[in-house]
Amino acid sequence: MSLTAIGLGFIVIGAGLGIGLIGKGAMEAMGRQPEVLPKIQTAMIIGAALIEGVALFAIVLAWLVDK
């Protein structure tokens, strides 16, 4: 149980770092080139969704292992 909880913490750290970096990159790109803002937004959401997907896989696996 506690080991799974630690693992979940790591998952959140990883996903948070990843989505944070994507957000940072997108913000900088938007600041430099506001004219391609919609494209950057779409790409940002897709990237964030893929990272989130990995995090959710890990959470599901953690839940299965813990069961």
User: Could you tell me the smallest distance in angstroms from the CB atom of residue 2 to other proteins?
Assistant: 18
Torsion-angle region of 33 (φ positive above 0: left; ψ -120 to 50: alpha; else: beta): beta
User: Could you tell me the smallest distance in angstroms from the CB atom of residue 53 to other proteins?
Assistant: 4
Comparing CB distances to other proteins, the nearer of 7 and 52 is 52
Question: What does the binding site for other proteins look like in residue numbers (CB under 8 A)?
Answer: 38, 42, 45-46, 49-50, 52-53, 56-57, 59-60
Nearest 10 degrees: Cα torsion 5, 56, 49, 18: 30
